[in-house]
Amino acid sequence: MCNITTIKKVFLFTIITIISCFLISCNEKKKEPELQKLTIFHAGSLSVPFKQISEAFKAENTGVDIFLEAAGSRACARKISDLKKPCDVMGSADYSVIDNLLIPEHADWNIKFASNEMAIVYHEGSKKADGINKDNWHTILADKEVAFGRSDPNADPCGYRAVLTMKLAEKIYKEDGLSESLLKKDTEYIRPKETDLLALLESNVIDYIFLYRSVAQQHGLKYVLLPDEVNLKKPEFADIYETVSVDISGKEPGTTITKKGAPMVYGITIPKNAPNPELAKKFVAFVLDKAKGLAIMEKNGQPSMVPSPSNTYDKIPEGLKIFALPISEE
């Protein structure tokens, strides 16, 4: 009797053990594979297209988790160079930010990939909005009853481009002292990046913003297009643009960089501290693909510049060189 009881207990224990092992095995099979993480620092004006590009990329590449962090392009570069924050991909609203603040210590190469233009953005409740146009916008912004915002030149390319736009306007409209008077006005409405100003506009705190046309389009905002001699859009006007300049903070504390006016060109790179460089290369290739990322950029008002000459062409990874040109071919 005792032996029979013992056998039953052993049999029951064996059955329980088998079932437990089976359940554990099933649970292990059900476990999701660990996601590959990709951290992307980018200009505020890339927020909408990069979000859409990231979703499209994840649809083609399962098991990827993308973290997007928007800031002024120079602020993004400082996070990499000064704060040593890990970053897989850096997208800048001005390719020269990568050249000046990251290469060669923190990045090896830079690919130009999109363009844009400056515009004056407003809403229906903006003062004098019913009469503003490309010929009188500067006069309206100078009006004491009108308030306008712009981003910080030391943090954001849109900020120094706003300054360059004002200086070009002074030359084109032949109004001495125009840029100085505009630069002294409404300084309390300067913000770290251009997209930070949208809340001030929507709440009627300010009437106008110096902003990229693409951001205005993406947010369904009203805007005034500026003359090509002023809007920093056209490569054929490069000689006019470079007649004005602005001093901004340099790579080292206490130093400055003189930024000359130039056509707007966005840049992208993979920093040396990238935690996942192979996946980063795959993402950059997706961004620069005419039928994928660049198609999304175009829909968001940011025309392609691919391929463009790169003075770091030799350092670009082999799989990405097809999106750039050696500088000798410029």
Query: By residue range, what is the domain housing residue 162?
Result: 118-249
What digits encode the pLDDT tens for the residues 249-264?
Answer: 988 888 999 999 999 9
Instruction: Output the CA torsion sign for 43, 45, 48, 53.
Output: negative
Mean pLDDT, residues 132-152? 97
Query: Which CATH number goes with the domain that contains 41?
Result: 3.40.190.10
What digits encode the pLDDT tens for the residues 191-224?
Answer: 998 788 999 999 999 999 999 999 999 999 999 9
- The reply to whether 198 falls in a domain is yes
Q: Examine residue 104 and say whether the peptide bond preceding it is cis (omega within 30 degrees of 0).
A: yes
Domain boundary among 220, 249, 278: 249
- The reply to whether 272 falls in a domain is yes
One domain for residues 92 and 131: no
Work out the mean pLDDT of the chain and round it to a whole number. 91
- The reply to whether 256 falls in a domain is no
What the block records as the tokens of 35 is 């996601």
CA distance 216 to 214: 5
Main-chain dihedrals φ then ψ at residue 186, nearest 5 degrees:
55, 35
One domain for residues 133 and 215: yes
CA distance 197 to 205: 10
Please check the confidence at residue 240 and state whether its pLDDT lies above 70: yes
**Are the C-beta atoms of residues 125 and 203 closer than 8 Å to each other?**
no
- The reply to whether 17 falls in a domain is no
What digits encode the pLDDT tens for the residues 82-118?
Answer: 999 999 999 999 999 999 999 999 999 999 999 999 9
CA distance 74 to 102: 10
Q: Which stretches of 116-244 are assigned E, i.e. beta strand?
A: 118-122, 148-151, 190-191, 208-212, 222-225
Number of Cβ within 10 Å of residue 238's Cβ equals: 13
One domain for residues 318 and 235: no
- The reply to whether 18 falls in a domain is no
One domain for residues 147 and 221: yes
- The reply to whether 77 falls in a domain is yes
Counting the structural domains of the chain, the total is 2
